[in-house]
Amino acid sequence: SPRSTEAATKYFLTQAEASAMILFSSLINAWQVGTWDIVNMTSPPAYILLTMALAMKLGLAPMHFWLPEVLQGVTLFTALVISTWQKLAPLTLICLTVNNLSTPILIILGLLSAIVGGWGGLNQTQTRKIIAYSSIAHLGWMISISSIMINMMILNLLIYLILTTGLFCFLILAQSKTIQDTMMTWTLSPILTSTMMILLLSLGGLPPL
Compute the distance between CA of residue 149 and CA of residue 143 in angstroms, rounded to an integer. Answer: 10
Rounded-to-10 torsion of CA 115, 180, 76, 63? -20
Each residue's pLDDT tens digit, 66-89: 999 999 999 999 999 999 999 999
Confidence band of 115 (pLDDT split at 50, 70, 90): very high
| pLDDT of 57 above 90 | yes
3-state per-residue secondary structure call for 28-70:
HHHHHHCCCCCCCCCCHHHHHHHHHHHHHHHCCCCCCCHHHHH
Compute the distance between CA of residue 145 and CA of residue 132 in angstroms, rounded to an integer. Answer: 20
Each residue's pLDDT tens digit, 127-162: 899 999 999 999 999 999 998 999 999 999 999 999
Which pLDDT belongs to residue 86? 94
Each residue's pLDDT tens digit, 25-36: 999 989 988 888
What is each CA distance from 74 to 67, 71, 127, in whole angstroms?
11, 6, 12
Confidence band of 54 (pLDDT split at 50, 70, 90): very high
Q: Is 76 left (phi over 0), alpha (psi -120 to 50) or beta?
A: alpha
Give the E-state strand segments of the chain in sequence order. Answer: none
The pTM of the full predicted model, rounded to 2 decimals, is 0.90
